Chains A and B, each alone.
Chain A
């Protein structure tokens, strides 16, 4: 099956700092999503981004499908950004696979 690797596994930031999270995947995909899981366990959709670049406030994401990676940028980090960030992909299949494969996540801690 498709492999999804996220880096770094853990990240500690001072409030106000910027960061880049990376997601590498092993095959062509037709769906890629970034999620934030907050400390209460809720999964929050950040981006649906199988290719290209999107921005939403302090967050932006870029997926380079031909090189099989995606990046999530967090600027001016805040303590509320703490939690685990997951990348999830769906392997491209002409018949459709319907299955999101998740990476193991990047645990972000933003300290005041």
Chain B
């Protein structure tokens, strides 16, 4: 099993450009998440999904959109990139235990994004 994979690993954008980050998991997990990590800080949740076709906002959703068209994939989009979105982006997935609880989250290797 590859676990959680992310594409691309690195990207440089100019202000105003758009891009999509792809997250894929092969563990048949119901829940998927997108986090960002800024220097010297822990991770903060951007958006999450509790199942195919459903998404919800996390702590820092502004400037991002997401889609979960297939259970194994979770896409994060930046429509008009800003320098404040320079960060490392991590995707994660977890298995549902039902009734809104879940098992541990497993993380991908991260995508380092720079917006000039």
A14-45: contact bitstring with B at CB < 8 Å (1 yes, 0 no)? 00000000000000001101010000011101
Question: Quick check: which of B16-24, B64-72, B73-81, B105-113 contacts chain A, the rest being far away?
Answer: B105-113
Q: Secondary structure at chain B's binding surface: helix, strand, loop or mixed? A: strand
CB-CB nearest in chain B for A92: B101
A111 on interface, CB distance cutoff 8 Å: no
Chain A residue total in the interface (Cβ 8 A): 25
CA distance A30 to B98 in the complex (A): 13
Let me know if B48 and A96 touch, CB within 8 A: no
Main DSSP-derived SS at the A contact region: loop
Given contacts A98-B50, A102-B43, contact A31 B104 (CB under 8 A): yes
Q: Which chain A residues numbered 38 to 72 have a C-beta less than 8 Å away from chain B?
A: 41-43, 45, 48
CB distance from B35 to the nearest CB of A (A): 8
Q: Is the CB of A43 within 8 A of B58?
A: no
Which chain B residue has the least Cβ–Cβ distance from A47? Answer: B104
